[in-house]
Amino acid sequence: MLKHLFIPSVLVAVCTLTLTTHADTLSETDREALTEQLDFMIHRGKEAMTQRQSAAYQAYRAAMSSDSDALAFYLKCYEKVNFTDNGKSYSDFRNWKSSDKNKERFSDSGFRCALRHQLNWLTLTIEAAQLEQQEKPVAALASKAKAAIDNIYADAKTLDGFEDLLQKDVKSSIFAKTYGFGTYTVKDWPTTPLDVADVYEKIIFPSYRENKQADKLRAAWKQRIMYEELMLEHWSKDKEDKNNKRIGMKSDMMSQAYTKFIEIQKPNLLWQMELDVFDAGDELGAASRMLSHIKANVGHNNTLKWVKQLHELVSPEEEEIVITETSDTRTEEVVVVEEQNEVVEENPPSE
């Protein structure tokens, strides 16, 4: 982002040097002068970014105080980016806002609620940027990130139909565009709040792993899995199915994505959870649960893989399980690995 602020001033500096020296190569004095100007522009660029962050942060915080404030701020930002900045009149904006389609959208509580959650994640993104500037880990925002996700899922029913706003990069939102954050990036910070896997992996899990807090890590894993399931349960149905509100068994109304998650992905995630907990220190508890997991999911495609992994965890130096697969069958072999020591007989038999 800063590079866009630097380029014009850097070009001015280079052109100034070219006009004053009339030389094809840079002298040591020229290099020092250019370096000084570049350092100055970098400093100015950082100051400008800090000011922009501060202004955006304050505006976002004020607008997320209520759904109505979020909508009002959205309309203000939309008018600036898509009408005022493009030389269009207020009457053009008014006609756009008063169209039947937009009036219906803006009156929907789900749309306004999604805007508020979007603003909240943008404020956290700015806080993450500030931590990065201070060379601090974004995991320091773990509790705030978790609260943000909790709040989104607490509003799951209200958000139905507008969850797509929270599945997009917040940097592409009208709020970010208004303050010029379209190309802004923060290392290890997910810019999509409903990318639950990324949020937990990059922000919430690290401190529990580092501090060997197995119980907290497992609780966080269970919550992550629950949220991924809820996302598919609430929001993966086809729009047509939602509108028709079919009557029937719950299992019959679930989407294919949800069914696949329950049958395939969820067992994999539960296994990954116990592996993680094992590494975090709860070896006995995790191993016991992993064995139960294998028994409960004998027909899963990864059952033999799990058996091999658990075997290597509990007896890594005694045996190695080798799994061989063919196109039609899958077999399991247990190969005992023994040290081969060369034996030298003192009195070899004579020929």
Q: Give me the pLDDT at residue 344, please.
A: 41
Tens digit of pLDDT at every position of the chain (351 positions): 323 333 344 444 444 444 444 546 777 777 767 776 666 555 455 555 566 778 889 999 999 999 999 999 999 999 999 999 999 999 999 999 999 999 999 999 999 999 999 999 999 999 998 898 889 999 999 999 999 999 999 999 999 999 999 999 999 999 999 998 766 788 889 999 999 999 999 999 999 999 999 999 999 999 999 999 999 888 876 544 444 444 444 444 567 889 999 999 999 999 999 999 999 999 999 999 999 999 999 999 999 999 999 999 988 666 555 555 544 434 444 443 443 444 444 444 444
- For 216, the token pair is 């907290």
CB neighbours (10 Å) of residue 84?
Answer: 15
Q: Give me the pLDDT at residue 187, please.
A: 87
- Among 130, 144, 61, residue whose Cα is nearest residue 152: 144
Contacts of 260 (CB under 8 A, 6+ apart): none
| Amino acid at residue number 85 | D
Question: Look-up: residue for tokens 């196109």?
Answer: 327
Measured CA to CA, the distance from residue 69 to residue 102 in angstroms comes to 17
- For 269, the token pair is 């995630």
- Measured in whole angstroms, the distance separating CA 273 from the mean position of its chain's CA atoms is 18
Residues 161/110, Cβ–Cβ less than 8 Å = yes
CB neighbours (10 Å) of residue 185?
Answer: 12
- Among 126, 200, 136, residue whose Cα is nearest residue 170: 126
Measured CA to CA, the distance from residue 127 to residue 120 in angstroms comes to 11
Q: Give me the pLDDT at residue 88, please.
A: 95
Helices (H), the chain: 2-21, 28-63, 67-82, 90-97, 100-107, 109-133, 142-154, 156-159, 174-178, 196-199, 205-210, 214-235, 239-244, 250-253, 256-260, 266-279, 283-296, 303-314
- For 3, the token pair is 């590079």
Measured CA to CA, the distance from residue 83 to residue 315 in angstroms comes to 67
Q: Give me the pLDDT at residue 42, please.
A: 56
Measured CA to CA, the distance from residue 90 to residue 85 in angstroms comes to 11
Report helix, strand or coil for 333: strand
Residues 13/34, Cβ–Cβ less than 8 Å = yes
- Among 220, 224, 209, 207, residue whose Cα is nearest residue 278: 209
